[in-house]
Structure 1
Amino acid sequence: MIPHLPIDLVRETVQRALAEDVSGAGDITSLAVVPETARVAFELRARQNGVLCGLQPAIEVFTQAGPNLSIDVLASDGDPLEPDESVLRIEGAARECMLAERTALNFLGRMSGIATLTRRYVDEIVGTKAKIVHTRKTTPGLRAFEIQAVRAGGGAPHRFNLSDAILIKDNHIAAVKSPAEAVRAARENAGHMVRISCEIDRLEDLSRVMKAGADVVLLDNFNIGDLRSAVVEAASRVILEASGGVTLESVRHIAETGVEIISVGSLTHSAPNFDFGLDAV
């Protein structure tokens, strides 16, 4: 079961999202066309195969748009979906349902799209020891939601923010002499509970950063041969993470080299929207 997001975060994010639609005079189409007393029943249904995520914010959208709406939850985040499968049933005032429609679909479409793409990557590496993880290439203000979607698709967590771990990248290294020097400086300043990861783009730097005290080494845009060599050289003394240009076509080959972690930015920055619809019943 996918853990729920903090309720205060969900409420505040949904409030901001609804405010994008409900400003000025509000939903002037429904106010002009739909009688105030009109009542409806809708089901929110998938239009394609994939993985569900986003129920929590979607339910919150309908709750905020219509406190008296009746909402039946018909599925759970992480469930596989088929076309025409219903995930929510909503009954109540027609105007309130229509007020919530697009915002609820946006949350579900974005998060289920990420979960669906993540599941494709996870399925590609079944039988290897590698894990698929996200990056910080997320939509500003929606990171917690998008990372939850990665988890719903079977992915594993990476850093949530800059304070989670030390990750030394190329621009940090540019300010000092070498990757190994950066790791030594980090080791001197970090507490014993903080992990240190260092990005390298040359195989010859691996032994140096391991000797300097790295816990994790990020192998940036390594080819398959160099990844294999790195796994042999590291001999499980550090965690190896492959990153850079990972695709569905290449991820299996990368996982079979023996690396433990594969970080994939496209999970959150390039996932296609999942198609849902709100249908009258």
Structure 2
Amino acid sequence: MQPTASIFQKKLIREVISLALREDIGQGDVTSHWILRKDLIIKGRIVAHEEGVIAGLQIASQVFLTVDKHTRFINKVKDGSTVLKGTVVAIVGGPAVSILSAERTALNFLQRMSGIATMTRQLVQKIRKTKARILDTRKTAPGLRSIDKLAVYMGGGQNHRFGLYDMVLIKDNHIKSAGSISRAIQLIQKRNHQRIKVEVEVENLTQLKEVLSEKIDIIMLDNMSFIEIKKAVAIVNGKFKLEVSGGINNSNILQIAQTGVDYISIGGLTHSVKALDLSLDIL
């Protein structure tokens, strides 16, 4: 449940930026190269066309600098800031060919991340008076997990496991394949020499009661009804951290948070992104 910040994840972000630029620019931006003088210097501003939370300014800056170290990117707001329609969020400047070649890739990252951060912030604010915390999931765009999870963090959410390697999460298919919940947990405990955190997914109160005597850290209540969630909180009575997942939306999240659960994980933060409307306007 920590922010995306490791050296490994930062390396992934650099690789993602490089791949995105290779994908878009390829052998070169023929339109810009054929129209613009090489010595033409321009200046532009990135503007928000709707209210939202800005995230990804550092990523956008890296895009421009990767294309051309002579470009300049000046933040006018900070990542995680809420901006109004018409706000200038950054100023860019440098060789025209470089600026226009990097424009779309930089905006793609910035708009996606800001969209994720905006939705995250809305949900975080909605449950701010409860103890529950918003978590992301692994339901991210392939290759963009480091970017997506950073955006969730900038929006005020917390990061769930980054991948399959940094936390144990025993889900329904693991349980079916192992034969039972207890058998799956037993196998994990036998091999978990690194003492990695262990979370178990349960789908009903019967399964919940099965794991109460096990040595685990977190229990995920998957697609349970509101009544079942309330009963689960009472049954667990603080012995384990409780996470709720499945069927969470803007209309029911506060009610669920008020049951006393610790975490609410929402795949829609990253798998159904509405990009924030931003543009680069040349001055």
Q: Could you state the TM-score of these two structures normalised by the residue count of structure 2?
A: 0.93
Cα distance in 1, alignment partners of residues 271 and 212 from structure 2:
31
Which stretch of the first structure deviates more once superposed, 186-195 or 41-50?
Answer: 186-195
SS at match of 1:12: helix
Is the CA contact (8 Å cut-off) linking 1:181 and 1:212 kept in structure 2? no
**Aligned match of 2:13:** 10
Q: What does residue range 170-181 of structure 1 map to in structure 2 within 5 Å? A: 170-181=172-183
Q: What does residue range 222-233 of structure 1 map to in structure 2 within 5 Å? A: 222-233=224-235
Which stretch of the first structure deviates more once superposed, 75-84 or 101-110?
Answer: 75-84
**Match for 1:21: what amino acid?**
D
After superposition, the Cα gap between the structure-2 partners of 1:10 and 1:178, relative to the gap in structure 1 and judged at 3 Å, is: closer
**Aligned match of 2:106:** 104
Q: CA deviation at 1:48?
A: 1.0
After superposition, the C-alpha distances for 1:212-258 in whole angstroms (9 at most, x for unaligned) are: 22221111111011100000010100111100121111111111111
**Aligned match of 1:53:** 55
**Aligned match of 2:185:** 183
**Aligned match of 1:20:** 23
Q: What does residue range 119-198 of structure 1 map to in structure 2 within 5 Å? A: 119-191=121-193, 193-198=195-200
SS at match of 2:122: helix
Q: CA RMSD, aligned part only? A: 1.7
Partner residue of 1:241 out of 240, 243, 248: 243
Is the CA contact (8 Å cut-off) linking 1:240 and 1:260 kept in structure 2? yes
Is the CA contact (8 Å cut-off) linking 1:44 and 1:279 kept in structure 2? yes
**Match for 2:18: what amino acid?**
Q
Q: CA deviation at 1:4?
A: 6.2
After superposition, the C-alpha distances for 1:34-80 in whole angstroms (9 at most, x for unaligned) are: 22232211011111111111112210111122221232222221111
Cα distance in 1, alignment partners of residues 12 and 61 from structure 2:
14
**Match for 1:237: what amino acid?**
K
SS at match of 1:211: coil
Percent of aligned positions that are identical: 38
Which stretch of the first structure deviates more once superposed, 43-52 or 30-39?
Answer: 30-39
After superposition, the Cα gap between the structure-2 partners of 1:49 and 1:132, relative to the gap in structure 1 and judged at 3 Å, is: same
Q: Structure 1: any 5+ residue segments left out of the alignment?
A: none
SS at match of 2:213: helix
Is the CA contact (8 Å cut-off) linking 2:46 and 2:279 kept in structure 1? yes
Q: Could you state the TM-score of these two structures normalised by the residue count of structure 1?
A: 0.94
After superposition, the Cα gap between the structure-2 partners of 1:169 and 1:234, relative to the gap in structure 1 and judged at 3 Å, is: same
After superposition, the C-alpha distances for 1:116-151 in whole angstroms (9 at most, x for unaligned) are: 111111111111110100000111111111100000
SS at match of 1:132: strand
Q: CA deviation at 1:199?
A: 0.7
After superposition, the Cα gap between the structure-2 partners of 1:5 and 1:184, relative to the gap in structure 1 and judged at 3 Å, is: closer
SS at match of 2:178: coil
Cα distance in 1, alignment partners of residues 194 and 43 from structure 2:
57
**Aligned match of 2:90:** 88
Cα distance in 2, alignment partners of residues 218 and 168 from structure 1:
9
Q: CA deviation at 1:92?
A: 2.0
**Match for 2:117: what amino acid?**
A
Which stretch of the first structure deviates more once superposed, 166-175 or 182-191?
Answer: 182-191
Asked if 1:71 is matched to 2:73, the reply is yes
Q: Structure 2: any 5+ residue segments left out of the alignment?
A: none
**Match for 2:220: what amino acid?**
L
**Match for 2:242: what amino acid?**
L
